[in-house]
Chains A and B, each alone.
Chain A
Amino acid sequence: MHEMDTDHDLNQTVRRLVALSRETSADPAHKAELRRLLLARHHELAANGRCGRSAPWTRLSRVKRVGLTLPPLCAALAASIVLLVVPVLSGHQTLQAAEAQRLSPKLMYNVPTITSWQWTVRETVGQTTRVQRWQARLAPLRQSVYVKYGQVYFYNNGMWLQPAANLAGPVATAYDWQWAFGLLPATLATHDFALLPSVRIGGRMAEGIRKTISISGERAVTVTFWVHRPTGFVLRLERDITAGNRELEHDVVDYRYQTAA
């Protein structure tokens, strides 16, 4: 039927093109694995009665889940003890606990939909400011980021990793800044942070969550997450390194995310 597409003298060209393009065959294993994931996702969406995002946990295959079962289980137990016992002891829910309770599910739902993200770092030491732009892209099926029980997990080609950003040291690397937004779930889990009034970042309202992550002698490192309320995504992260009243370094990192949904 393709030979009817155009002039008669082009039939030979059409036949050649059809033959060449049909030569390509896909890997059956990829097709089967993708089908399995899609159907599992379909069930998740149907179970949630929504077309949007759902909890990522069921996306993990059994093989991958084995390595993960124990640590999150322990974390879950610890978290449930904190969640159940602390309110009983204090008799009321603190502002921080309420904030954590509101943002944590958003992170759990939304972070797994991230397909790539970019971050712009402005590091200011004294009078010198250095600007860098970076981006990370996740390979579909092979790489994902999850948040569960106050921890960030990075699934990379069958391996589960826990990215750890070291912002307490004087030098933060691209890798640290890449994963710095992942410190938010852990911060929320501790309830040990200060809430700051909302500001507008890139046209979106963001609320501030500030935590001192390191104190050594006079030197203190404080990070402030500016969090987009509807999604839980960190739009901006600020790090201040101070010695007494003197500011040694001020870093501002702006994040942008692309999501699958």
Chain B
Amino acid sequence: MEEALAATPFSLESGEDCDALLAESAKSDAGAFGELYERYYIRVYRYVYHRVGHTSDAEDITALVFMKALEALPSYRTRRNGFAPWLFRIARNAVVDHYRRRRKQNPLDSIEHHAGDADPVGHVLGTEQRAELRNLMTELSNDQRDVVLMRYAADLSFPEIAATLGKKEPAVRMLLHRGLRKLKAVMDDA
């Protein structure tokens, strides 16, 4: 009995709950927000990067995601969903907005774009690997791509992915399974 009681607080410190509590504190405590930022920056960045395939766009979108998260933090409700799904919904919407904007004609591109469009990281290690992953991602549907990247680049759990995408967990597992089957076929052919 004592063990069961003792176990209760430990279960509260699982990653998701801990992040939700941190998010609650972050509403008034900049340090807590900084902690969340440290936990999620690279996960958001990787997801965004592999969705847009461009370093400077990924940096811009990642910045936008955290700015939006900060502004919207007061409306975050701990009990409704975990923090990760909340944050990754913002990230996913930002990526969708990015593609929507790119589809429109943008005659002032030269004014607004990007002094440093070069990909500095791309010249270092891993260029080929990133290109390989980018090519693989083109084989997948948007939903499959989201699931694969949220699972392996952003390290989200299945319940978190399901909450982010507004789908049932079995549907997420099915999307992943089918995506992996497609990717395996491509990798085997290569």
Contact = CB atoms under 8 A, between A and B. Distances in A.
Interface of A: 2, 5-7, 9-10, 12-14, 16-27, 30-31, 34-35, 37-39, 41-43, 45-46, 51-52, 115-116, 133-143, 157, 174-175, 178, 260-261
Given A25-B121, A27-B59, A13 B112 contact: no
- Most-contacted residue by chain A among B46, B75, B105, B111 (CB, 10 A): B111
B114 to A, nearest CB: 6
Interface in B59-81: 59-64, 66-68, 70-75
B73 A51 contact: yes
A153 B35 CA distance: 33
B181 interface: yes
A41 B64 contact: no
Chain B interface SS verdict (over half):
helix
A13 B33 CA distance: 35
A21 B108 contact: no
Contacts, number: 161
Contact of B183 (A13, A26, A37): A13
A51 B71 contact: yes
B187 A13 contact: yes
B28 A137 contact: no
Contacts of B62: 26, 30, 34
B70 A141 contact: no
A115 B64 contact: yes
A27 B42 CA distance: 10
Nearest to B64: A140
